């Protein structure tokens, strides 16, 4: 944590674990008898509970979106650039709720949690969770927190899909959906990348059909490869070129196959670090949730028809160099919203960082986000 | 409230679904939303304008008419499609007009009159491309690549069988003067046309 603490930081935050005893039935028809959700909140809920904003995380995200857990913490939460006093999601005005989704590996019930029926970790027996299940559990979380209607549900990438799903499943409980760097459904190429990641994990000898805990091991190698391939899709050719180019770790070629280029050692480092901190079964689950997301599917593949269920206003943002979920995918979503006569604003932000750009503040991104959220705040009296 | 917007407002019925091409900072749409309970969108490419629209609750889509067109809008989606002071700046005004009257029932278009007497006089006296308060650019850096006169515009409408429902000719301050009514193509600076494809 920097000293002194910047005035636009939420400071030290403490996660809470909320236990839910009412069974929840999932899209796969399985039921979780009880479960935990780990959350963090920033700011204060106002008297009529109109100023609540839900943050939905992406594939490898979690509840720790802003601030620091301790003074020793080196890095703030994953979206600290956008959440805090005076930041686009202004904690002086909004009550911000951020959670770790079901199936996650940061404290909410997931494959690493103990299955109450066996006393052992669920591992591969943990049910496959969908975006709709997440939104359902988030609605139950809102009930618990006394929030009838979110001022906004905000998310990037997979988080944006949750915001979109909220607008369809609970139209009366959401005023604004902010869908950033997202897509109404994965393309074949997107699914293909996910499949490579899953194959990397499941073909690791240490995976043991997902029961690695029972074998006192972890499929580190597989998870590392999955992360490496994922990471490439989060960056752009230009940003990788800028960061690493063809730079070598040493002066000359060694005519071998060790990590000689800087980009190789960077990817290996990122992959290794991730493989120590993330659960392989959760990674499989999250990528599957991505694959399955397709709100148009139940409406004759007509997204506009699906959107007729929504009544909130939308802000859709894309980034010029994002090739994972390209601006064209966001435009597809916007076109369906226009066709369904929903209120929507859209901008394509010029940024060189590929898909990751949604995590990186740039003047235009910040200005738009700030202007939109300021208007949301005024609308709800925050 | 700008006078041209006041004039336009009279031609929009309450509760209309409107599309504003080149909506700027959203002043007109904001006004129509509040005063006429209108719904709809603005298209804009200027980043600052887009931000302002979003901040004031005007639905704005970043979309370039020249490169993207209006292909993403279905036929007859809007009651009125507006385009204020942008016709002369698009690559194919004729195509844009066609598209306006495909996605909307009526179109409202405003543009500067290149046959305004001061511009004629400028060209005649100096032999150089006219510059004025309404057209403050050099020939090489002007965004106004398709300047026309009222007569030109009306000839195009005739060719395309568009019906002109209304025309108001105003001066640079958007005031309706008796002189410009008398001889619009010579004395009028800006025209506001309301057109449709429908038969009367």
How confident is the model over B150-175, as pLDDT tens digits?
A: 999 999 999 999 999 999 988 766 67
CA proximity to A60, closest of A115, A114, A112, A101 = A101
- CA dihedral of residues A162, A168, A174, A177 (deg, nearest 10): 50
Q: Do A341 and B39 touch (CB under 8 A)?
A: yes
Q: How far apart are the two ends of chain B, measured CA to CA in Å?
A: 32
CA distances, A279 to each of A107, A125, A182, A227, A238 (Å): 11, 14, 24, 12, 31
Quick one: pLDDT band at residue A164, thresholds 50, 70, 90? very high
Give the H/E segment covering residue B81.
Answer: strand B78-84
Cα distance between residue A56 and residue A289, in whole Å = 14
Contacts 24+ apart (CB under 8 A), B7-11: B7/B168, B7/B170, B7/B174, B7/B176, B7/B192, B8/B82, B8/B84, B8/B108, B8/B110, B8/B192, B9/B35, B9/B36, B11/B80, B11/B106, B11/B108, B11/B165, B11/B166, B11/B194
Q: Do A368 and B54 touch (CB under 8 A)?
A: yes
The C-alpha angle with vertex B118 and arms to B112 and B119, in degrees rounded to 5, equals 60
**Among the partner residues A345, A368, A372, nearest to B61 by beta-carbon distance:** A345
Phi-psi map region of A351: left, alpha, beta (phi>0 left; psi -120 to 50 alpha): beta
Distance from CA of B110 to the nearest CA of A (A): 25
CB within 8 Å of B124: residues ≥ 6 apart: none
Given CB atoms, is A372 within the 8 Å cutoff of chain B? Answer: yes
Q: Tell me if the bond preceding A4 is cis, omega within 30° of 0.
A: yes
Q: Do A345 and B54 touch (CB under 8 A)?
A: yes
CB within 8 Å of A264: residues ≥ 6 apart: none
**Among the partner residues B39, B55, B61, nearest to A371 by beta-carbon distance:** B55
pLDDT computed for residue B1 by the predictor? 56
CA distances, A249 to each of A195, A253, A258, A267, A380 (Å): 31, 9, 11, 13, 54
**Among the partner residues B56, B59, B74, nearest to A344 by beta-carbon distance:** B59
Cα distance between residue A32 and residue A117, in whole Å = 11
Phi-psi map region of B195: left, alpha, beta (phi>0 left; psi -120 to 50 alpha): beta
Quick one: pLDDT band at residue A13, thresholds 50, 70, 90? very high
Q: Which tokens belong to A7?
A: 């005035």
Q: Do B59 and A334 touch (CB under 8 A)?
A: no
Q: Which tokens belong to B184?
A: 């619009």
Report chain B residues whose CB lies below 8 A from the CB of A367: 51
Quick one: pLDDT band at residue B188, thresholds 50, 70, 90? confident
Q: Do A347 and B74 touch (CB under 8 A)?
A: no
Backbone phi, then psi, for A71, in 5-degree steps? Answer: -65, -25
CA proximity to A382, closest of A177, A152, A160, A170 = A152
Which 8-state DSSP code applies to residue A285? H
Q: Do A338 and B60 touch (CB under 8 A)?
A: no
Q: Do B51 and A368 touch (CB under 8 A)?
A: yes
Of A84-88, A116-120, B184-188, the least confident: B184-188
Cα distance between residue A224 and residue A278, in whole Å = 10
Bridge partners of A68, per DSSP, are A12
pLDDT in tens, A27-72: 999 999 999 999 999 999 999 999 999 999 999 999 999 999 999 9
The residue with tokens 């002189």 is B179
Burial class for B125, CB neighbours closer than 10 Å (0-12, 13-18, 19+)? exposed
Reply yes or no on whether the pLDDT at B200 is more than 70. no
Q: Kindly report the average pLDDT of chain A as a whole number.
A: 97
CA proximity to B106, closest of B178, B53, B157 = B157
- Render the burial of A253-277: b for 16+ CB within 10 Å, e for the rest: eeeeeeebeebbebbeeebeebbee
Distance from CA of A343 to the nearest CA of B (A): 6
pLDDT computed for residue B133 by the predictor? 84
Q: Which tokens belong to B132?
A: 């004025």
Chain B: which residues have CB within 8 Å of chain A? Answer: 17, 39, 41, 47, 50-63, 72-74, 77
Q: Kindly report the average pLDDT of chain B as a whole number.
A: 92
pLDDT in tens, A191-213: 999 999 999 999 999 999 999 99
pLDDT in tens, A291-334: 999 999 999 999 999 999 999 999 999 999 999 999 999 999 99
CA proximity to A178, closest of A49, A305, A315, A61 = A315
Given CB atoms, is A192 within the 8 Å cutoff of chain B? Answer: no
CB-CB contact of B16 with B80 (8 Å): yes
Q: Please give the residue of chain B at the shortest CA–CA distance from A379.
A: B57
pLDDT in tens, B35-47: 999 999 999 999 9
CA A183 to chain centre: 13
Report chain A residues whose CB lies below 8 A from the CB of B54: 315, 345, 347, 368, 371-372, 375
Q: Which percentage of chain A shows pLDDT scores above 90?
A: 98
The catalytic residue positions of A are: 157, 322, 355
Number of neighbouring beta carbons within 10 Å of residue B119:
21
Given CB atoms, is A328 within the 8 Å cutoff of chain B? Answer: no
Q: Please give the residue of chain B at the shortest CA–CA distance from A316.
A: B61
Distance from CA of B87 to the nearest CA of A (A): 23
Q: Do B47 and A347 touch (CB under 8 A)?
A: yes
Q: Which tokens belong to B49?
A: 């304008």
**Among the partner residues B51, B56, B62, nearest to A346 by beta-carbon distance:** B62
Q: Which tokens belong to A308?
A: 């007729």
CB-CB contact of B170 with B189 (8 Å): yes
């Amino acid at each position: 944590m920097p000293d002194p603490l910047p005035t636009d930081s939420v400071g030290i935050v403490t996660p809470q674990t909320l236990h839910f005893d009412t069974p929840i039935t999932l899209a796969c028809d399985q039921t979780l008898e009880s479960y935990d959700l780990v959350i963090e909140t920033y700011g204060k809920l106002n008297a009529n509970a109109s100023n609540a904003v839900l943050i939905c995380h992406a594939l490898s995200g979690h509840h720790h979106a802003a601030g620091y857990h301790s003074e020793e913490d080196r890095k703030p939460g994953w979206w600290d650039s956008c959440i805090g006093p005076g930041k686009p999601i202004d904690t002086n005005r909004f009550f911000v709720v951020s959670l770790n989704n079901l199936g996650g590996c940061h404290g909410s019930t997931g494959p690493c949690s103990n299955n109450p029926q066996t006393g052992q970790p669920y591992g591969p027996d943990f049910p496959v969770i969908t975006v709709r299940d997440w939104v359902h559990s988030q609605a139950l979380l809102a009930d618990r927190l006394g929030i009838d209607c979110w001022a906004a549900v905000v998310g990037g990438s997979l988080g944006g899909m949750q915001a979109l799903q909220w607008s369809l499943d609970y139209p009366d409980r959401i005023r604004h959906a902010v869908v950033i760097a997202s897509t109404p459904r994965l393309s074949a190429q997107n699914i293909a990348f996910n499949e490579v990641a899953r194959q990397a994990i499941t073909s690791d000898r240490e995976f043991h059909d997902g029961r690695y805990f029972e074998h006192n091991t972890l499929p580190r190698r597989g998870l590392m490869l999955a992360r490496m391939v994922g990471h490439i899709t989060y960056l752009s050719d230009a940003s990788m070129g800028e960061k690493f180019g063809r730079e070598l770790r040493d002066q000359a070629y060694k005519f071998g196959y060790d990590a000689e280029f800087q980009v190789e050692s960077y990817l290996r480092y990122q992959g290794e670090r991730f493989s120590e901190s993330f659960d392989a079964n959760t990674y499989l689950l999250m990528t599957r949730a991505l694959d399955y997301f397709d709100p148009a599917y139940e409406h004759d593949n007509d997204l506009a028809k699906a959107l007729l269920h929504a009544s909130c206003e939308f802000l859709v943002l894309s980034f010029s160099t994002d090739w994972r979920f390209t601006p064209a995918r966001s435009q597809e979503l916007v076109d369906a919203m226009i066709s369904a006569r929903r209120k929507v604003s859209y901008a394509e932000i010029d940024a060189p960082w590929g898909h990751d750009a949604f995590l990186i503040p740039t003047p235009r991104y910040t200005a738009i986000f700030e202007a939109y959220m300021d208007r949301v705040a005024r609308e709800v009296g925050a | 409230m700008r006078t041209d917007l006041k004039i336009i407002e009279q031609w929009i019925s309450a509760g209309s679904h409107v599309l504003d091409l080149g909506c700027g900072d959203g002043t007109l749409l904001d006004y129509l939303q509040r005063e006429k309970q209108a719904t709809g969108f603005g298209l804009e490419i200027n980043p600052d304008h887009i931000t302002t629209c979003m901040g004031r609750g005007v639905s704005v889509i970043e979309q370039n008419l020249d490169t993207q067109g209006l292909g993403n809008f279905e036929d007859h989606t809007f009651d009125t499609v507006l385009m204020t002071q942008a016709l002369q700046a698009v690559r194919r005004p004729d195509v844009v007009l066609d598209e306006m009257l495909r996605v909307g029932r009526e179109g409202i278009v405003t543009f500067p009159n290149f046959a305004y007497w001061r511009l004629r006089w400028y060209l005649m006296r100096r032999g150089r491309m006219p510059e004025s308060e309404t057209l403050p650019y050099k020939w090489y850096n002007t965004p106004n690549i398709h300047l026309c006169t009222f007569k030109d515009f009306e000839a195009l409408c005739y060719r395309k069988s568009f019906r002109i429902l209304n025309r108001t000719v105003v001066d640079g301050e958007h005031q309706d003067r008796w002189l410009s009514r008398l001889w619009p193509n010579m004395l009028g600076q800006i025209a506001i046309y309301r057109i449709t494809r429908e038969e009367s």
